[in-house]
Amino acid sequence: MNKTHNSSEHLLHLLHAHQHQHHFISDDAISDIALQLNLPRAQVEAVTEFYSFFHRTPRGRYDILFSNCTSCGSLLLMRQLCEQLDVNPGETRIDRMISVDETSCIGMCDHGASALINGRPMTSMTSDRIKKIAKLIEAEDGIDTWPPEWFVIDDHLQRSDLLLSSSFKPGSALKVMEEEGCDASLEKIRFSELRGRGGAGFSTAQKWQFCREAEGDAHYVICNADEGEPGTFKDRVLLSSYADTVFEGMSICARIIGAKRGIVYLRGEYRYLLEQLESRLAKRREERLLGESILDVEGFDFDISIVVGAGAYICGEESALIESLEQKCGNPRIRPPFPVTSGYLGQPTVVNNVETLAAAAGVVIHDSHWFRGAGTWQSRGSKILSVSGDCARPGIYEYLFGITIRQVLDECGADDVQAVQVGGPAGRLIDPTHFDHQIAFEDIATGGSFMIYDQSHDLLKIILGFSRFFAHESCGFCTPCRVGTTLLKNTMEKICHGHGTAHDLDELRRVAALVGRRSHCGLGFTAPNPIIDGLKYFPELFEARLLNREVEPEFDLDASLEEARQLTNRDDAEAHL
């Protein structure tokens, strides 16, 4: 098998394997891996520096990353553990026993405060458990001996409809397709009006048709399972409990477009699913649902491999994902050309997210009317929502398109709601006057995140957290995003700390507009959304924090001299400006 398709020899996997063994990636390792893969050393080094889960300096044998997400994070618990183990956040203890740091959302938002320890998710964290963890670490007990219930990840499936309530027998969709023909299956998907479930809503059949007609030496199918949007965890559930439906959707797409190879790009936070998914793929090969002559049909050859990411939100963007698969930094490409004509390895490529591929398999089995007859006239079928935050019943909810925000809130048990973030930080911040709007492409579109905030939250701090997230996750490729997201973050911090002025609000609006219009990719386009919606729907929260001055300097020189005054024990007039 070609090294590019042998996932065990993918650059990201080799780097992870070395770090797992040695707790960091050394200069010698970079040189050795570059030689092994016949890649430029500079490329391997750049990739190592690009992903937040790779480290060039030694980490502890217990490497704990606390989520800083508003739904699955608790930095208070992180600080508690640091105090008990005498380690500073973001550092490795001098004995190299433990490292503690924070990371972006790890997709456990229905499980409360969560963390990754050596890549494994721990959920439902409490102060009492932190004390127990500290004792286990000081005793040097291996994490395999820790209470297994700490690592249980439930689906929390609260509501199912078209997709999640349908029974599925592996191979059933493929058999229907072979009986009816590829063209008929493509027409089913076209007539169903299935649109991409990642949020953009592009016609699935049209994308497959474009790729099918594109000239190339090979065609590829990629499943985008890099759901890095804070508050989103539906793909985690689909891959853990509905993997066969997703794999079948990939196989249907492959048969229609003429692809021999498929790749699942799995987010690094879901590495714990890798063994389970590989086992399911092996079972499908045994059942002749993958490999050569699928279903004993001569010429129907298709197989799937899995590549695991390493902590880069930008790789959820399809062209950045393809760059990552090609063993490069996940920088978005200039488009056109689009992946359907020039994608993976420069060949025609379909990139669909997990939910879209599962829906495609359902359409082929149940026919177009099953799907087309549900939802609204512009948004057919159902949408799976990841509901989290201030509600009694967080989890997975599948609704037909057209459900209102208020109906979702009522069903999940949310009271005294101040705001809802629909679609994650890149989506829409909704105030109560919009709770009767619908989840639909023509109204409020979403990739699936549904984060609820009651009146106990300081909404400005929530918006500040999103601003920090985008500034941290910017790949730095283009100046508007690289510089603009940092400016937005800094100005939000100034306002939240009570130093903002009317001039700063004007600057927020100006910079937000610039970043949204001039950035290179979707991350930059959507990065200002929480600020824009905040200023539009919650202006009183910003205004309440402003100083009564028109302008305050961004840099307070006299305050910066305070450290010098303390060192010299001076506080006389001449020590001040």
> How do residues 106-149 score in pLDDT, each as one tens digit?
999 999 999 999 999 999 999 999 999 999 999 999 999 999 99
User: What tokens were used for 280?
Assistant: 């399911």
Q: What's the mean pLDDT in 357-364?
A: 97
pLDDT score at 476: 85
Which residues, 6+ apart, have CB-to-CB distance to 112 below 8 Å? 72, 123, 124, 125
Give the domain CATH number at 445: 3.10.20.600
Structure confidence at residue 8 as a pLDDT band (50, 70, 90): confident
Asked which of 105, 128, 154 is the last residue of a domain, the reply is 154
Contact, 406 vs 436, CB < 8 A? yes
Q: What is the rounded CA–CA span in Å between residue 186 and residue 208?
A: 8
| Average pLDDT over all residues of the chain | 93
Domain that holds residue 169: 158-372
For residues 188 and 150, membership in a common domain is answered with no
Q: Is 560 part of any domain?
A: no
Contact, 216 vs 348, CB < 8 A? yes
In 3D space, the residue among 485, 493, 472 whose CA is nearest the CA of residue 526 turns out to be 485
Q: What's the mean pLDDT in 62-69?
A: 97
For residues 285 and 323, membership in a common domain is answered with yes
Q: Is 570 part of any domain?
A: no
For residues 162 and 297, membership in a common domain is answered with yes
For residues 11 and 95, membership in a common domain is answered with no
| pLDDT, tens only, 306-356 | 999 999 999 999 999 999 999 999 999 998 999 999 999 999 999 999 999
- Phi, psi (deg, nearest 5) at residue 117: -120, 115
pLDDT score at 386: 98
For residues 522 and 503, membership in a common domain is answered with yes
For residues 289 and 345, membership in a common domain is answered with yes
User: What tokens were used for 233?
Assistant: 């965890």
pLDDT score at 3: 40
Asked if the model's pLDDT at residue 28 lies above 80, the reply is: yes
The CA-to-CA distance between both ends of the chain, in Å, stands at 70
pLDDT score at 198: 84
Give, for 561, the enclosing helix (H) or strand (E): none
Provide the domain count of the chain: 5
pLDDT score at 5: 45
Contact, 400 vs 379, CB < 8 A? no
More confident call, 563 vs 30: 30
On the 0-12 / 13-18 / 19+ scale of CB atoms within 10 A, 167 is exposed
pLDDT score at 166: 83
Min mean pLDDT across 297-311, 485-499, 549-563 is at 549-563
pLDDT score at 555: 58
pLDDT score at 556: 61
More confident call, 510 vs 576: 510
Q: Is 395 part of any domain?
A: yes
In 3D space, the residue among 127, 96, 151, 139 whose CA is nearest the CA of residue 273 turns out to be 151
For residues 171 and 304, membership in a common domain is answered with yes
Structure confidence at residue 550 as a pLDDT band (50, 70, 90): low
Q: Is 358 part of any domain?
A: yes
Q: Is 2 part of any domain?
A: no
Q: Is 232 part of any domain?
A: yes
pLDDT score at 358: 97
Structure confidence at residue 569 as a pLDDT band (50, 70, 90): low
Asked if the model's pLDDT at residue 202 lies above 90, the reply is: yes
pLDDT score at 255: 98
pLDDT score at 4: 39
Q: Alpha helices, DSSP H only, in 68-152?
A: 75-85, 127-138
For residues 176 and 121, membership in a common domain is answered with no
Q: Is 509 part of any domain?
A: yes
Going by DSSP bridges, is the β-strand pair 220-225/261-266 parallel, antiparallel, or unpaired?
Answer: parallel
| pLDDT, tens only, 267-309 | 999 999 999 999 999 999 999 999 999 999 999 999 999 999 9
User: What tokens were used for 558?
Assistant: 């006299």
pLDDT score at 547: 83
- For CA atoms 464, 88, 24, 149, give the dihedral sign: negative
pLDDT score at 504: 93
pLDDT score at 559: 64
Structure confidence at residue 477 as a pLDDT band (50, 70, 90): confident
Asked if the model's pLDDT at residue 162 lies above 90, the reply is: yes
Q: What's the mean pLDDT in 534-550?
A: 88
Sequential DSSP letters for 258-291 = T-SEEEEEE-GGGGGGHHHHHHHHHHHHHTTSSB
Q: What's the mean pLDDT in 398-425?
A: 97
Structure confidence at residue 524 as a pLDDT band (50, 70, 90): confident
